[in-house]
Amino acid sequence: MINTKKKIITVAVVLAILLISASLGLFREDKGVTSPDIETVNELEGTTLGGVAARMPDNSAKILFESLLGVKLRNYQSYQNTFETLSALRTNEIQAAWFPDVTVRYLLQMEEGFKEIPMPQNEKPRLDFAMALKSDNISLRDEINAAIATLKENGMLEDLQDYYVTNAKSAMKFKPSDMEQISDSNQTIYVGITGAVWPLDLVDIELNPYGFSVALMNEIGKLTHKKVKFVTLKNDTAFSSLMGGKVDLLFCYGTSQSTLSDTKNYIMTDGYYTMNQYSYLVLE
């Protein structure tokens, strides 16, 4: 009888503790999922930053972004693509994600629940996006440069940027199957694309390219009288694929005078889009 009373009292005490804990929010279902409300760069102190994997290892990326942001990060985590990076941000695996400014502008048009951390504007553009080729492929580089120059002069490049980049929310998809067929050529340009810099090199959930990159290469193919085929690559190994001859060029590659000053194993076309700075997304 005494043991029964003790059991009843013990159960009552446990239930009371559970009720009190629940009322205090100690067992909230969303605990660990809700991201902190970050408004300024300084509030990134002690958080984890993420981004799409590149050639730079995570520990080096952590050092780079700590110097750019002026804060001490807890960690840096890279992901295979933009889809995975956004998913990590939504689930609070990371508290902020970096992208080129053009990507952030696009994501704010297309995705809900994100906001951009205000950053001081750079006085000069950080880099141009262009196409990378092996250093011995000068003739193809020169042909593409001539095509880009023509597209700048006739206004087509600006039109493509307006339609597929600036006003991307209203743009229709343009897929490789929509490209004009070059029937009088036996030459093909194999274009490596990663989907790392939306909307310049957009890929769908199945990693098929569409949008600006396809539309621009369609125009370049017509001007150079070459067929164009896209090869989807992982961003962190894309450069190795170029050097290994898997593709003739990488469509979206950032370049500046500093990046080209000490290199001899690859060359760049003229730029087709200017990036002013890195930008950072957090949850609203």
Query: Do the Cβ atoms of 115 and 177 come closer than 8 Å?
Result: no
**pTM, entire model:** 0.82
Per residue in 47-73, pLDDT (tens digit) is 999 999 988 899 999 999 999 999 999
Per residue in 203-258, pLDDT (tens digit) is 998 889 999 999 999 999 999 999 999 999 999 999 999 999 999 999 999 875 44
pLDDT of 121 reads 78
Per residue in 81-120, pLDDT (tens digit) is 999 999 999 999 999 999 999 999 999 999 999 999 998 8
Cα distance between residue 144 and residue 129, in whole Å = 14
pLDDT of 169 reads 80
Confidence of residue 31 (pLDDT cuts 50, 70, 90): very low
User: How much is the average pLDDT of 252-275?
Assistant: 77
Strand partners, 274: 128
